[in-house]
Amino acid sequence: MTETSAVPSPQSPKVFTPEEIANLKIRVEAVLDKIRPAIQMDGGDADLIDLTPEGVVVVQLTGHCETCSLSPMTMKLGVERMIFQEIPEITRVESM
């Protein structure tokens, strides 16, 4: 896994309950659904792999994104930015 970004937290990190994780996964999937059409136009896709109790989202870019030299930019400026913007509880987004 490659870490793409971290948001510094001045306090000790919150640990999410299984119910909170399930709700956050639904919200992350909704964000990915907004991004997917643009990614799929280029033959790629984005899949939610995991969301940890510490609020770390693990996303995998698939299809043409796997070999595209611009995939780190897609992750940073597209996926990561939108997740942080819409779900501030997320502490980090990692690419798998």
Nearest to 46 by CA among 26, 19, 66: 66
Answer for the pair 49, 60: CB distance below 8 angstroms, yes or no. Answer: yes
pLDDT digits (tens, 9 = 90+) for 48-79: 999 999 999 999 999 998 888 989 998 988 99
The CA distance from 73 to 13, in Å, is 27
Residue 25 has a CB neighbour count (10 Å cut-off) of 14
pTM of the full structure: 0.84
Answer for the pair 37, 55: CB distance below 8 angstroms, yes or no. Answer: no
pLDDT of residue 70: 87
Segment 29-55 shows an average pLDDT of: 95
The full set of domains in the chain, from first to last, is 14-95 (3.30.300.130)
Answer for the pair 68, 77: CB distance below 8 angstroms, yes or no. Answer: no
pLDDT of residue 65: 87
- Whether 85 shows a pLDDT value over 90: the answer reads yes
